[in-house]
Structure 1
Amino acid sequence: MKKAEGANLDRKLFAGMRIRRLRRELALTQAVMAESLGISTSYLNLIERDQRPVSAQILIKMVDVFDIDPRGLAGDEEARAYTQLREIFADPLFQDTPVADQEIRDISAASPNAVDAIARLFQTYRDASTTSSMLAERLADNTHGETTSALMSFEEVRDFINQRSNHFPELDDYAEELYIKAGLVDDDPFLALRQYLQHAHGVSTRIGPVDLMGDDLRRYDRHRQTLFLSELLNQSSRAFQIAYQLAYFEHSKAVEEIISNSNLENSEAQRLARLALINYAAAAILMPYGIFLQTAEDNGYDITLLSRRFGTSFEQVCHRLTTLQRPGAKGVPFFLIRIDNAGNVSKRFAAGGFHFSRFGGTCPRWNIHDSFRQPGKVMTQIICMEDNTRYFSISRTVSRNRSAFDKQDNQFAIGLGCEISHAGKLVYSHQYNLEETKSDMPIGVNCRLCERLDCHQRATPPLMRSLRVDDNIRGLSPFDF
């Protein structure tokens, strides 16, 4: 029997609308579905009307009989759709036609595909507005040049990766074969990959001085059959760049097939996707799926240990952990976010169902922002969203120490987390009583979407609420609503 992964069987689950939608997608009558599940038609009718919860036995039976992902019934998809739709309708564009919260929930539950279509339409509107604003600024400044669509292409690729749950099995299968073939099992990754690149492709690797390489970290010279790596790269980054070159040489065809089967039509988006997929393959070479997952499970997902074991960086390990979604061999469904010290989001993946904002930053109450005060220290926190979903969060800064003394290093904060039901597997959670909610930090998606009344760190009022202004009262927050 297939395990109902990702579902909390101890929680009462009311999923009537989702079950009704599933039944219609399968073209089944209530009688046929009820018979398949071993229950009466009247009982199924009560479940579909949310007058009875879905028991653990029925959920497991549905997974077994209809081969479905239980997380779809557990409401993860609906929660993401709700967050996405709520953010869209919070835009000032809709201020004259407010949509009630219950209406948003109903649409999210009944038609998640329609929500995706609305989101795409709204993204197109936002892209057009951004382009229009940029053109207006150029005209106002009397400057010339083409308006770039890089931002729109970047978002398109990000959506594509999230739609695939950041998991590409064809690349993982290739990487596991190469890991053994290149001898990474018994040797330092950099040395093993350097030797394999020379023997398999006749390409030598040289470490170039910064005065020769400039700002280039990797440069492949086709004519000299030489891969130049900057001396500013540390050992793990050098190994990654060789792995990237190998993936480019040996697996470009599979990458092109993935892109051709996607809905990426923009040539710029396709180029960005190609880069992302080859990076994925490079990480998979250094951290092959089966061995990496087993090591992570055996050691409580200790990121530092995994980094040492596989010769990779903290960020590379965190990124790889978000990709462990192989059917039948899944890891903890992590989400990941990367921000700079101004709060700008430069990377986000939501395998763990976390509610990310598409168009803004993050909540200031989340201690990922505190990481910059204690660089290099791993910080943990239990956070609770407005819908009472609880997550366990791990945060730490990462630095790209690739510059000389007189240059400023880039510093980011990585946030890695999962739903609280998975947190017991993490070595970082052992100091917590995961059932206790008193120490939870209530957060929101971001200030403009959050409606918490008791937040003293609010930067902007919520877009879905009207401000109350009283000349005689000043609270801890300048916004009352």
Structure 2
Amino acid sequence: MAIQKLYAGAKLRELRGRLTLTQRAFADKLGVSLPYLNQMENNHRPVSATVVLALAQEFGLDVTELNAGEGERLVSDMREALADPVFVKTIPPLADLRLAASNAPALARAFLDLHRAYRQSHERLASLDEALGRDDTALRASPWEEVRDFFHYCDNYVDAVDRAAEHFIHSATTGKDALMIGINALERRGISIDFSNIAPLRHFDATHRKLAISARAAAPTQRFQLLYQVALQTQNDLLEATLDLARFQTPEARDIAKIGMANYFAGAALMPYRAFLQAAQDTRHDLERLADLFGASIEQVAHRLSTLQRPGAKGVPFFFVRVDQAGTITKRHSATRLQFARFGGACPLWNVHRAFETPGQFLRQLAETPDGVRYLCLSRDVSKPGGAYLAPIRRYAIGLGCEVTHASKLVYSDGLDLKGRFEPIGISCRICERPNCHQRSVPPLERRLKVDPDRRGLLPYDIVD
């Protein structure tokens, strides 16, 4: 198998900027000539093994950061945006998109922001939204999308918050149970906790310093909700400082992001990084055993596995997704080369959609994306009872997976033929080039069509090269 060359010009420029070094000084420390460094920073040459070694020795750089997935995310997101019919006559080749993502990531993100603003304005016009034209809110990302993209592009790993949660748990002197550690932390701040038969999962009365958590909720949910409140009470300065760096466009986005940060702290406290990483390796990523060890739910464990991206101590790179019964993606993250559509649902050929048919069971799938990358995919339903006879049940399915090169580290690979047949899956029909997919809904972006009224195959048209 050919070795993939490493182009990381943007990362080199970013590191040099952080170190406030000139190109000449940086080149001297790396042991290369100035022209050679200039070519690497502009992605005209790949990063050599000698330079990678120098980066690790001279600057203590975790070299896995050089191959971070942001470029793949940007390429995938730009391809999806360019599937918009407005670009039908101006579609750049894939090679140009990769150059833009590598050499000008800020410009690529600006393009995505612009397309998102256009898309939202177009949708508002189509629905006769009265707010269109009254102010500039129509040109902004929705607060929810802005926060979603923030976590998407920071690899769903927030180092300061993650380490603070780990320190909070390990510095406790009240035992190792996260629930009791959280209760004691709140009680020290004069907050009383009541597990009662309330309708909402959690309610905090700031005036009377009382926290009520639903006794009807599952134990992992109770732990998580209590640790969420711990984050707001004990880590507020850290959360606010982290939000300051994010520079959200609206107060609403900042408020949503603060909830996300507190949720992140809760998950990281429930499953502290180093202990969880070690347990994941020891159990070969058995989700049920990990859930039992840490008092967490299957969904919480799967989500936490996708965040194990700490520099110098990274876990298996996973993708994680949650979909509802309509196929809409409600949570998404990928530390792999697989990227999810920003709008709409997941590929219908993916086994996550079949999880609703087999409640309580893990489904396994060996899948291959159009770029030739192969994955081991898991899916399972995570339906959540309402706690009463007439209460509505929330039904979701989660998907978790990794590239097949890591599959042996997962207990779920046992008994599978990892060199056998892999099912074809895609990302979005508009950017999937498979010509004979029986589930295709719209033609692919970068292919011409041939329509023959006298012949009908799987599709009412043929896709030609």
Tell whether the structures are fold-level matches, with TM greater than 0.5.
yes
Cα gap change, 1:32/1:321 in structure 2, threshold over 3 Å: closer, same or farther?
Answer: closer
Shift of 1:445: 0.8
2:97 to 104, 111, 121: 104
> For the residues of structure 2 that align with 1:155 and 1:179, how far apart are their CA atoms?
32
Shift of 1:339: 0.4
1:470 to 445, 452, 459: 452
Q: Which residue of 2 aligns with 1:201?
A: 189
SS of the residue corresponding to residue 261 of structure 1 reads: helix
Shift of 1:241: 1.2
Counting only pairs closer than 5 Å after superposition, residues 110-149 of structure 1 correspond to structure 2 as: 110-136=103-129
SS of the residue corresponding to residue 346 of structure 2 reads: coil
Shift of 1:124: 2.1
> For the residues of structure 2 that align with 1:362 and 1:129, how far apart are their CA atoms?
23
SS of the residue corresponding to residue 125 of structure 1 reads: helix
Q: Which residue of 2 aligns with 1:5?
A: none
Offset from partner CA, 1:128-187 (integer Å, 9 cap, x none): 223333444899xxxxxxx99997111111111122222222222322233245557544
Offset from partner CA, 1:200-224 (integer Å, 9 cap, x none): 1232222332xxx33x211112344
Shift of 1:72: 6.0
1:408 to 382, 392, 395: 392
8 Å CA contact 1:460, 1:479 repeated in 2? no
1:14 to 5, 13, 17: 5
Q: Which residue of 1 aligns with 2:252?
A: 268
8 Å CA contact 2:80, 2:341 repeated in 1? yes
Specify the code of the residue in structure 1 equivalent to 2:342. R
SS of the residue corresponding to residue 282 of structure 1 reads: helix
Cα gap change, 1:388/1:256 in structure 2, threshold over 3 Å: closer, same or farther?
Answer: same
> For the residues of structure 2 that align with 1:480 and 1:117, how far apart are their CA atoms?
35
2:77 paired with 1:84: yes
1:440 to 419, 422, 445: 422
8 Å CA contact 1:87, 1:449 repeated in 2? yes
8 Å CA contact 1:232, 1:401 repeated in 2? no
2:87 paired with 1:94: yes
> For the residues of structure 2 that align with 1:228 and 1:24, how far apart are their CA atoms?
46
TM-score of the superposition, structure 2-length normalised?
0.86
Cα gap change, 1:59/1:164 in structure 2, threshold over 3 Å: closer, same or farther?
Answer: same
8 Å CA contact 2:287, 2:298 repeated in 1? yes
2:373 paired with 1:384: no
TM-score of the superposition, structure 1-length normalised?
0.83
Q: Which residue of 2 aligns with 1:159?
A: 149
Counting only pairs closer than 5 Å after superposition, residues 242-257 of structure 1 correspond to structure 2 as: 242-257=226-241
> For the residues of structure 1 that align with 2:344 and 2:54, how far apart are their CA atoms?
41
Cα gap change, 1:309/1:107 in structure 2, threshold over 3 Å: closer, same or farther?
Answer: same
Taking only aligned residues, the RMSD between alpha carbons, in angstroms, comes to 3.4
Specify the code of the residue in structure 2 equivalent to 1:159. D
SS of the residue corresponding to residue 159 of structure 1 reads: helix
- Structure 1, unmatched stretches of 5+, are 1-9, 140-146
8 Å CA contact 1:90, 1:463 repeated in 2? yes
8 Å CA contact 2:436, 2:458 repeated in 1? no
Shift of 1:69: 5.4
> For the residues of structure 2 that align with 1:293 and 1:458, how far apart are their CA atoms?
39
1:351 to 327, 335, 338: 335
8 Å CA contact 1:380, 1:395 repeated in 2? yes
> For the residues of structure 1 that align with 2:36 and 2:240, how far apart are their CA atoms?
49
8 Å CA contact 2:291, 2:297 repeated in 1? yes
Cα gap change, 1:99/1:175 in structure 2, threshold over 3 Å: closer, same or farther?
Answer: closer
Shift of 1:349: 1.4
Offset from partner CA, 1:416-471 (integer Å, 9 cap, x none): 1222233222222233344x1x3212211111221101211212222343432222
Cα gap change, 1:22/1:47 in structure 2, threshold over 3 Å: closer, same or farther?
Answer: closer
Counting only pairs closer than 5 Å after superposition, residues 16-415 of structure 1 correspond to structure 2 as: 18-19=8-9, 22=12, 26=16, 28=23, 33=27, 59-65=52-58, 70-71=63-64, 74=67, 76-136=69-129, 152-182=142-172, 185-187=175-177, 189-198=178-187, 200-209=188-197, 213-214=198-199, 216-415=200-399
Shift of 1:226: 2.2
Shift of 1:58: 5.8
> For the residues of structure 2 that align with 1:113 and 1:166, how far apart are their CA atoms?
19
Cα gap change, 1:326/1:45 in structure 2, threshold over 3 Å: closer, same or farther?
Answer: closer
Cα gap change, 1:390/1:272 in structure 2, threshold over 3 Å: closer, same or farther?
Answer: same
> For the residues of structure 2 that align with 1:363 and 1:63, how far apart are their CA atoms?
39
Cα gap change, 1:148/1:413 in structure 2, threshold over 3 Å: closer, same or farther?
Answer: farther
Cα gap change, 1:41/1:20 in structure 2, threshold over 3 Å: closer, same or farther?
Answer: farther
Specify the code of the residue in structure 2 equivalent to 1:396. R
> For the residues of structure 1 that align with 2:100 and 2:366, how far apart are their CA atoms?
30
Cα gap change, 1:20/1:359 in structure 2, threshold over 3 Å: closer, same or farther?
Answer: closer
8 Å CA contact 1:15, 1:75 repeated in 2? no
Shift of 1:475: 1.1
Specify the code of the residue in structure 2 equivalent to 1:377. Q
> For the residues of structure 2 that align with 1:393 and 1:265, how far apart are their CA atoms?
36
